[in-house]
Chain A
């Protein structure tokens, strides 16, 4: 089955610096890769996603890159701010049961942005 690995598990950066979180997946059939931000005591919030027919996607300070050949995808946050501090999860989607897809999550990255 699908396995998603995520690194690093913790990341501390200075405000204004960039942060990069990397994930790898095992199932070449996966075709959708979302990233979620989870603040303490809350549910995950979708921040950006990418589909397998695209190599890069950007939304303001957030970008995601996908290398299908290497089965790697990464989250890039530029000009980090203290409010970016949270746990970030990557996920890979696999199809099962008709049109239904389920997400396999990475282990999470605790990002701390120091003021």
Chain B
């Protein structure tokens, strides 16, 4: 158990809908990272927050947004969903805000868009 929690574990929704994925980092970690992993693909970095502020943005679509709250949990919002958005979405956390240290991953949310 990495100490990172994600909810929900599974999500099935229709095209055009909007969903919110939630992540709670390990105790003491200030950075939260979001990744997308499509079937048999590598981890694609989406966005990083550090202590409530956006630190880095990767290949995140404009339809997606995220935020980190004062209690350090984070939410990833996905809107106008398309079939191609079906994937595993992972949240990771680290103490380091500069993406130089190891990251600890949650169990993921499996999103299926039908």
Question: Is this pair of chains taken from one and the same complex?
Answer: no
